[in-house]
Amino acid sequence: MDREEKWGVYLLAALLLSLASATAASDPGRRRSVIEVEGEPSSVVWVVQLSDLHFSIFHPERARDFKRYVPAALAMINPCLVLITGDLTDGKSKDLLTMKQEESEWIEYQNVIEDVVERSGLNEKIFYDVRGNHDSFGVPEVGGAYDFYQKYGINAGLRREGNVHSITLQNSGWKHLFVGFDSTMEIGLRGPTNLFGHPTDRLLADIDMELSQWDDDITNSAVTKIAFGHFPLSFSALTDTGRSLKDVFLNHSLSAYLCGHLHTRFGKNLKRHHQSGHHFLSSGTYYQFNIHQGTLDNVNSEKCSNESKSTNEFWEWEMGDWRKSRAMRIVAIDSGHVSYVDVDFRLGSKDTIILPTFPVDSRFMQRISSSHDYICQTKRTLSYATVRALVFSRTEIVTVLAKVYDTRSGSLSLVLDSTMRKLEGNGTRGDMYTVPWNWRAFADPSPDRYWLQIEALDIYGKSSYSQLMPFSINGLNKKVSWKWKEFFVMGCQWASIYHPVLWSVLSLLFSLLLIPQVFLACSKKYYTYKYLSPGFSGRSLRGCLTRACWVLIELPKMTLIWSGILLYVLYLLLFPWFFGYVFTESHSMAYMTYRGWAVPQLNNSSGLPYIGVPDVMVVVLPHLCFVVLPTILVIAAMAAEKTAYRTHYLSLSGKKEDDLYKESKKHMRHASFCSGCWMRKLLLLVCLVILWKHWKHCRALVKAYDMNPFLHSPLYCFTIPVLLIYAIYRTSSRWNL
């Protein structure tokens, strides 16, 4: 064999080896696991979700409480899976302004989880964790030196590779598929511009593959699908091709998507129902006003045929956080019915936890399929025959009661009070209590007429109660409304909103600056205080508009200040805002614009790519809306106040404008103080508020990205203060005279 043939053989062998390695790395079998769930109750499985632990070297109580409460709770609950959905560590400095990885926090996380696994008595293989945005602060590359998740995380310790993992729980002819995924930035920036999930087309393809793994199962087993990750869909960006996680989830009609990220400080109703179909404006592209999307089409017997096309849907449930709320969620699947209960450890450990599994809460049941099951009498209605509840307790339970209340009279009237029986069986995984009932008697067109509560009495005479909840045998949803903060974080699709809002604000800024200048240039003799003053009388709409026009027209008369503001807005549009360090440790700086961060390490033939979009909106929009826009308005108001005072003083003195400078300066200053003093003070107070807000923004950015404001962000940090101070000086009493 000559040299050329040998080189050909070597090249072919290397190619085959690389192909085999790539195939092995992308093999779905390596990220899939199937668990046979044995023991009673055979019709139900349950899992535990924890999220947003935020273990921090500055807040050791978070890890301490986790070790104190969680092991005993898990031992009592005995879940099939334990899902930890992101923000495992905090990654923040003591003042909360510097955000990057701290290895000691990850070591603590690893030690705490090992302790929890050991003390709970659970198999470590049922624990799964995914990254949150805090876990990727300042991580330049996956698997790099500062990717501590790959070193100390649960999945890394169990050698689970890839960003997507699926677990199938099988029992009694049911399959319960759980698919977890990591959608954090591939290149993790420091905060605050690391806030969104960034799924890729490859990630969506992998999720789609995992969710469809049982679609062609020859056993025809019923499959319940649940996904879990860190970011709510309102804080998940679109892929390069414009696809979203919602598209994949709707295609598979998930029962629920379990997530974290938002914490309970925004509210307790951080839940959202999604369904297929397009509705004007509120289709989910930009916003969704209510928890339930769109309107529900009536289900009738004509839609019960197998050929009828069903409307896909799924629930999105954000669970809260361990960080401050000390929250844990138990999710149960009973014959395809999904329910959950949230446990709060802020007041201490729990001796008894009750989770009703059927009937389910009408506020958070499947909106379409539940109604379809009732009307079409599908196979799932066979499970309607009993009221069922899981009871987890450290002490022996002697009595469990199911109580149903009727609210038709306007108050709670007890209509069912039955003793429940515990299911017995070998290898019992948990205590399931059931009681037969005439479920058809509770069918009602109102989704909240009947309410259910389970009471458990232990051997010591202590009673525990489940949360009183409405239910609807008909499959009708009780409407739940968001509070404004809940709508703000769950109802708005921020990734889609960013650019429309950005360009709307920029258009407003340029309009406020340029349109008055055009009016002033074209109609200089008419748009003056003296000409417009008759329109000031009264409080009519015309009077208000006249005042606003006059105020805005006075700004271009201060040519130097007006030019400075216009140039600053153009600078924000065309040039870098500031430079800073975006990784945990880096010797090269990146710069930020409204389009994102330009990182030199990512340079390619097409130029510097921008990353961190729409995450930069947390810097861009507050600066434009709460600093630049108020600055324009307050400077225009000060200019108008100056003109109004001058005209007013001239009218009182009866002098021409040139004669003003012949008067005593002391007398004029006294008049300036007495006339319109309250308005001047109010405008100065507004200036102080703007300066304070801007100083807070600049201080946060200086700390976050280790930058020197004089070297790395002089125009961004100092232009606004200079313009405001100069405007105050120009409109002071000496210039009014």
pLDDT at 661: 46
With cut-offs at 50, 70 and 90, classify the pLDDT of residue 467: very high
Could you tell me the pLDDT band of residue 669, with boundaries at 50, 70 and 90? Answer: very low
Q: Considering the chain, what percentage of its residues have pLDDT values greater than 70?
A: 82
Taking CA atoms, 178 is separated from 34, 81, 210, 538, 669, in Å, by: 10, 9, 9, 66, 75
Q: What is the pLDDT of residues 632-646, one digit of tens each?
A: 999 999 988 888 777
**How far is Cα 339 from Cα 389, in angstroms, rounded to an integer?**
10
Cα–Cα distance, 320 to 342 (Å, whole number): 9
**Residue-wise DSSP of 115-146:** HHHHHHT--GGGEEEE--GGGGTT--STTSTT
Q: Which residue has the tokens 């009947």?
A: 450
Distance CA 80, CA 169 (A): 8
Residue 614: cis peptide before it, omega within 30 degrees of 0: yes
- In angstroms, the CA 353 to CA 372 distance is 31
Q: What tens digit of pLDDT does each residue of 624-634 get?
A: 999 999 999 99
With H, G, I as helix, E, B as strand and everything else as coil, classify residue 415: strand
Which tops the pLDDT comparison, 298 or 293?
A: 293
User: What are the phi and psi torsion angles at 10 (to 5°)?
Assistant: -60, -40
Residues with Cβ within 8 Å of residue 307, at least 6 apart in sequence: none
Q: What's the mean per-residue pLDDT of the chain?
A: 85
| 379 contacts: CB under 8 Å, gap ≥ 6 | 222
pLDDT digits (tens, 9 = 90+) for 116-167: 999 999 999 999 999 999 999 999 888 888 999 999 999 999 999 899 999 9
- β-pairing verdict for 32-36 and 596-598: unpaired
Q: For 92, which DSSP code? A: B
Backbone φ and ψ of 330, nearest 5°: -110, 120
Burial class (CB in 10 A: 0-12, 13-18, 19+), 24: exposed
Which domains are present in the chain? 32-294+311-491 (3.60.21.10), 495-736 (no CATH)
Most confident of 230-239, 541-550, 672-681: 230-239
Kind plus residue range of the DSSP H or E element containing 251: helix 245-252
101 close to 57: Cβ distance less than 8 angstroms: no
* pLDDT of amino acid 715: 95
Q: Is the peptide bond before 192 cis (omega within 30 degrees of 0)?
A: yes
CA nearest neighbour of 600 among 587, 618, 619, 616: 587
Residue 328 has pLDDT above 60, yes or no: yes
pLDDT tens digits along 9-52: 444 444 443 433 343 344 555 578 999 998 888 889 999 999 99
Q: Confirm whether pTM is higher than 0.85.
A: yes
Per-residue pLDDT for 604 more than 60? Answer: no
Cβ(111)–Cβ(88) below 8 Å: no
Cβ contact 494:502 at 8 Å = no
pLDDT at 722 (0 to 100): 96
Q: Mind listing the pLDDT tens digit for each residue in 210-219?
A: 999 988 876 6
Summarize the confidence of residues 222-241 as an average pLDDT.
94
Query: Do 404 and 415 contact (CB within 8 A), yes or no?
Result: yes
| pLDDT attached to residue 554 | 85
Instruction: List beta partners, residue 315.
Output: 256, 273
Least confident of 26-35, 176-185, 190-199: 26-35
Spatial distance between the Cα atoms of 273 and 282, rounded to a whole number of angstroms:
13
pLDDT tier for residue 532 given thresholds of 50, 70 and 90: low
User: Per mean pLDDT, which range of 253-257, 422-426, 702-706 is the poorest?
Assistant: 422-426
For residues 505 and 624, the answer to whether their CB atoms sit within 8 Å is yes
Mean pLDDT score, 528-537: 52
* Residue closest to 189 by CA, chosen among 716, 597, 621: 597
Chain centroid to CA 38: how far?
A: 37
pLDDT of residue 734: 46
Q: Is the pLDDT of residue 107 over 80?
A: yes
347, HSE (Cβ side, Cα atoms, 13 Å)? 4
When pLDDT is averaged across residues 59-78 and rounded to a whole number, the result is 96
Highest mean pLDDT among 278-287, 345-354, 595-604: 345-354
Express each pLDDT in 606-623 by its tens digit.
345 789 999 999 999 999
d(CA 235, CA 498): 11
- Rounded to an integer, the average pLDDT of 649-660 is 56
Question: Rounded to an integer, what distance in angstroms lies between the CA atom of residue 484 and that of residue 496?
Answer: 19
Question: Which of 2-6, 561-565, 729-733 has the lowest average pLDDT?
Answer: 2-6
pLDDT in tens, 407-421: 998 999 999 999 999
Indicate the range of 115-129, 213-227, 527-541, 546-560 predicted with least confidence.
Answer: 527-541
Buried b / exposed e over 361-387, threshold 16 CB at 10 Å, is: bbbbbbbbbbbbbbbbeeebeebbeeb
Residue tagged 């199938």 (tokens): 168
- Tokens of residue 159, six digits: 């050698």
The CA distance from 248 to 219, in Å, is: 24
